[in-house]
Each structure stands twice: as structure tokens, then as C-alpha cells.
Chain A
Amino acid sequence: MSDHPVTIKAVHPPLPERLRELVASDLGSYVLAVVLIVLPLLVSGSWMFAIGVCFANAIGVLAVSFLVRYGGEVSIGHAFFAAVGAYSVAILDTRFGLSLLVSVPLALVLGVVTGVAFAWPSRKLSGIYLAVSTMALALAVPELINNTDALTGGYEGLYVSKPLIPGLPMSFQRYYVALAVLIAVVFALARFRHSRQGLTILLSKAHPAAADAFGTRQVWARCAVLGISGGIAALCGAMLAFAGSTVSPSGFTLWSSIFLLVGSVVSFYGLTLARALIGGAFLTLVPQFLSASGAWIPVFYGLALLGMILLGHYLPRLKEMMARHGGTA
């Protein structure tokens, strides 16, 4: 016991190392955030709009990556939760004249509730079985929207126009609100990694029985992960509605869900600001560049998905080989 203070000191890495870590993680995010905050001064209006949508998609990518990182599960149904968020915003805006101040919290709550509501019946499923049932979830979305057109506007969709802060130009609001929500989500997830709940959920992913033996039920972990992931996806939907200004069922198909997964894979399931933006940019900017011939979009996404997966598969092996060669030479 006498060496207690000494050991605590030894536990912390030396200062230069910590500085390097800071640069690699937090500082990088701060710099990137500052760049994004001043970016509208440099780019044109249409770019600002596209980047705003990119922020929204980045949030969706985070939702899928969170599920992979903390649940070890893959979803191809996150468009469902995104639709929940998007229509919360759009319906409150167009039917009740309420601003984001009300609708975003509602979207978050509904996203969490639907996430948990889906987690409960699928609590015993994992891996490919869960992936298949999330697929079914995504399939149901467009017809649910289309057949409740009195509320959702059916095929035609809804136009979101109510500003958060009256008087400020709407184009700036669409950009900055989406950016603020994205940064908030990244920040909250960074806290979560070190929280009690985050730790136990990560153990539950690797060894459910062990987590169970220390007081974390597997069902609880599953509901928590899907609840959080659903909530984030709903925020993505809310921001897609606000930053993208319209919602319609064509934005929430099975393909949208698959694209979110593609974004997540392309960002290597990262939960940092930079990684999320890579995924979001991929989802937003690729269609923009390929807009002349839409048929190339699925081909490109498919190739990118395969490419990243194969890269993720071969890169460690290549590195190992290089290291071995370097070691012997």
C-alpha cells in the first residue's frame, strides 16, 4: 500500500507522449471544427448547402458506426430511425409551426424509443440474423410514409422552412445547426467511451457472459446500444430534414440504409469528427459528382465498399509482411 502514490504517477504516460495523443485525437477535432465554422466565409451558397447535408449524413454514419463499435452488430435498416427524426421535424414544422427547439428533442426521444422498441423483440438475434431483421425494418419505411400521407405528405414529401432563430438567413442556419448537432454528437460519444455505461457495454460486446457476471445484462446492453444508435440516427434524419430542406420517402429506402453502412465502412467505423465527415462526404458528394449519370452511383458505392473491406482485410497483413521484411533485412 505504501507505494500507492508512486504507482499512480507511473500509470500516466510522460508529457510529450500525452501531447502527441492530444494532437492525434482532441486537438485535431478542435482544429477541424474551427475550420468548419469559418468555412461558409469561403465557399458559395450551393456548396454551403451540400456541406450542411454532408454534416447530417455524417451523423447518420456515426449512428451506424456506434452500433458496430459498441454492439458489434451491423444494421442495414437505419433509414427507419432517420425517417423517424426527419418526419418529427417536418411534421412539427409544417403542421404545427413548431421550430427545431421542440422538434429536435422530440426526434431524439422518438429515435431512442423506436431503437429500444426494435431492440426488445430482436434481443436474442445477433450477427447476420439481426442484419436481416434490420433490413425488414428498412423495407417497411417507404410504405408507412406513403400510406399516412395526411400527415407525411406521401410521395411528395414536406418542405421544412421554419428557421430556428428568426431573422437570420436560412442558408446559414441550415449549415450551422447541422454542424452544431454533429459536433455535439461527436463530443457526447467521446465522453461516452469513458463512462461507466460505455465500459460495460464494450465488455458486453466481447464477452456477454462476463458482463452479465458483473451486473450488465445482455438485453440491457442491446437496448442501450440500439436506443443510442437510433437516437443518433433520428438526429441525422432531423438534420437531413432541416439542412436538406425537404423530406420524402425516397430519402429513406433500403438503399439509404445501405448507403449509411457504406459510409460507416468507408470511415472505418470511426467515431471522431474527421472520420464521420469522411463518411458523410462520401454519401453527399459522390452523388453530386456523379449526378450526370445516376447509374454510376451504385457501382461506385459498391466498388468503394468492396475496396474498403478488402483494404481493411489486407492492410494489417501487408503491414505485418513489411514489418517482417524490415526486421530480417
Chain B
Amino acid sequence: MSAEESSAQVLTPAGLEQLLTVLRQRGYRTLGPTIREGVIAYDEIACVQDLPCGWTDEQSGGHYRLRHRDDRALFGYAVGPHSWKQFLHPPRQRLWSARRDGETLQVRCEPPGEHRLALIGVRACELRAIAIQDRVLLGTAPGDPHYRARRTDTFIVAVNCTLAGSTCFCASMHSGPQVTGGFDLALTELTTTASSAFVLQAGTSTGRAVLEQVPHRAASAAETAAARALIEHTAEHMGRQLPSDDLPQLLLRSLEHPRWSEVADRCLACGNCTMVCPTCFCSTVEDSSDLIGQETTRTRRWDSCFTVDFAHLHGGSVRQSTRSRYRQWMTHKLATWHQQFGSSGCVGCGRCITWCPVGIDITEEVTAIRASEPT
């Protein structure tokens, strides 16, 4: 038995309720999965009742539906359309504004503000994605002050996946389904038809301090074994596979592969894949001045490598074709990201597959390129 497992605890739904209360008392904004617009979205959650109790999802390329489970599981689904980046690296962020004052200019940088975010129900792939965005946005000095402000005091309650969605492939990307670090508390939900219990581990001293304020008990050997078995079962039942060890080499020697044109015939260049991807971080800035030229504001907003403007250099966009834009997206995620940030840019969450309106599947595209590689 490992040290972690020997220290495993058990939390009941009432304990989870208390955990949310304690986090809110400590000044955290508690964010987590909840049903909204017919999907499991991430939003403010005040109590356990706000969680998607007894719900699961059905996912495939370009398809998502909520379904009832026959139990009262609180985390019995895979990831939905949202990712935590919408809170940590929000879609719009004002950066600075300037005001003309006679002959002088007053420049006001947007203060990053104070944020205490508690993220409830973060999956292994999402923890990996957050770690990637940390590297991208904070890894090189000076880093992004707005992201830093949101990450400085993030409390993370992770959840081990006890079910793999049919577009999930985290096991291939070595990023799940078991959480391995980067959390304050981690839960594994053991569900019976009547209720749930959570096998729980603390990952940080803050996590342990919070746990002190929440009723819990030591886990039995049977409970830890059940939790471990559930995670193993999830790992063995991934919806998709993507053998990933040679991807950079494979893709970078296939830049002229005919498959890129074939996928471009299907791709809408709509950008949905990059919007839902938890690691995509690209943004652009917009300047706007008022009518009388007194005030101007610079705003950062999410951008996508699928827009024409994204690759606008002097004289025009260097990626006019959807072929070149799709190739940029996929080779960046799976190949050049390694050189740039020291890991894959894909954590195997499957969102880009489910939320692509035409169901383009990154694993299928790689498989097609691999299968027809000129030998």
C-alpha cells in the first residue's frame, strides 16, 4: 500500500457540502459542473444540489446529449464544452486604457485584481491542461499578470474519472484518468444507487487544512481498492486511442500529406475546436478609441489559428487556405508544442472531437496520416 493510499480518507455528500461551505467561508468563489443549456457546464456552484446529480453524457464526433444515470452519482460524466481556461484565461480581458488630458496622456493599466477561485471537479486531463497553460502564460518572465492573479490562490478539488467518455483518450496522452499532482484535494466517487462516497486524498498543506474543517473518516482497504479498480477500468475503456510517442516525427515528415486537403474539405474553419480546447491559449488584442479621440482601450480576446487574421503579417495572411490552418492547429498541438513548451499540447480530453460541428476527429486524422504514410 502506498503512502498516499494509506492516508486516504472518505467523505460523504454531506461532507462535500461542508467542503463547499468551508471554501466559501475562506473567501473562494466555488466553480464547478452544473446543468445549463442542456449540457454540463462550469459555473458558480453554491451547494451540492447544483452539481449534475444522476446525469451523464453521451458523446461522439459532433454530438453531445445529456442522459440520466440509474444512480445518484455527482461526477458520473466526462468533460463538457467548457474548460477551466474560461476562468483562468478569460475570453476577454481589458489590458489598459489611455486618456488624453490636454497635451498629456494618462495611461492606466488594468489591475489584475484579486481572485480566489476554487475549482470543483477538475479531471486529470484538465489538471494537465492547467499545468500546460501555467508553463505557457507564466513560464517566461514576466508572465501574464492577469493569469497569475487568477492562479496564485486557486484551490483545486480534483476528481478521478470513473467513466471514460467515448471521445476521451487521456490514457494515450499519459494525462489521465488518474490525477497525479497539481491538486489540493482529489476525490474518487464510489457510487451505489442510493448515494455516493468519496475516497479522498489531500495533495497540499492547504488541502489538509481545509480537510481539517470537514467531517471525514479513514478509508477502509476495500474502499481504496474499489477506487483504484474504478480508475483502472476507466483507463482500459477509453473511447479513443492515439498512439502518441512518435507524433512529432510522424506529423513533421507529413507536412505535404494529401490528408490535409481532404480534411480541409470537411473543416468549417469555425474555430470551435480551439475555443473548447483546454490548452489553446492564443489571443489577439483589439484597440478601440472613442468618437472624440479622448479615450482608447486595448482589450485582449481569444483568437484561433482558424481565423484569417491570426496569420496576418505584412501584406496579408500567410495561411489563406483551411488546409494550412488545420495543419497548423494539429501540428502545433501534437508536434511543435513539444519543442516550444516541452510537452504535447494535447491532453486527450476529446473536446475538439465532440464539439466540432462536423465531427472532425484528431485521432482519426492522425491514424489516416499514419496508415497511408509513403514507405
**A, B from the same assembly:** no
